[in-house]
Amino acid sequence: MGLFSKLFKGPTIDMEKSDANAKKMRVLFNKAVENGDSYSLIFGYTEDVSRFNYGFVHGSKTKIGNLIVGWNEKEKTIVVVPTVPDLSGCGEPTYYRRSEILKAYRNKYPTDAFIIYPDKKSYIGINAYDWLDDESLYVYVSQEEPLKAFTDFFLHQFATK
C-alpha cells in the first residue's frame, strides 16, 4: 500500500470497541425495557434534546441526545432509551406503538432521520448511521446490518402512508 492510500484511506472501525459498546447497549436496554431481548437494537441520536423533553440525561452538557433504539417487528413497536456517549447509564424508555402514533415517516432533509409524531404537539427525529467518529458526542458502534433491518422495518411496517 502506497503512502497516498495510507493517508487517504479514511477512518477504520475498531470492531473490538464497537462490539463492547453493542454489548453495553444491550445491557442498558434490557435493564430499562421489559422483555428487552425481544427487541433488535441500533444506536441513534436526536438533536436539540430539549424539544423532545429528554432534557440532559445524566448531566450531559451537549445538545445531542444519544439514543438506544429498539424495535419489535411482531408488536410493531419502537422503544427509545436516552443514554450518554460512554454508556454509563440511561434514562426512561419511551414507547412508540404503530397503532398509537399519529404519523411516522423517513425525512431526507436536512438530515436523514426517522420522524415519529406520537400526537399533534410533539415528535422525535431519530438520526442513525452505520457509525460515527466523534466519541465525545456519540456512541461508537458499527451497525450496518442492524441499521438496514431497522430501515426496512420502519419503512415497510411502521411508517404511516
For position 48, what pLDDT does the model report? 57
Arithmetic mean of pLDDT, 35-53: 79
Residues 148-161: tens digit of each pLDDT? 999 999 999 999 97
Range 67-72 average pLDDT: 96
The model's confidence at residue 12, banded by pLDDT at 50, 70 and 90, is confident
The residue written with cell numbers 431526507 in the block is 108
So what's the pLDDT on residue 36? 97
pLDDT at residue 1 is higher than 70: no
Q: What is the pTM of this model?
A: 0.84
Sequence-ordered list of residues with C-beta below 8 angstroms from that of 87, at least 6 positions apart, any chain:
21, 24, 25, 28, 139
Q: Which domains does the chain carry? A: 14-158 (2.30.29)
Decide if pLDDT at 62 tops 90: no
Cα–Cα–Cα angle for 13, 3, 18, nearest 5°?
Answer: 5
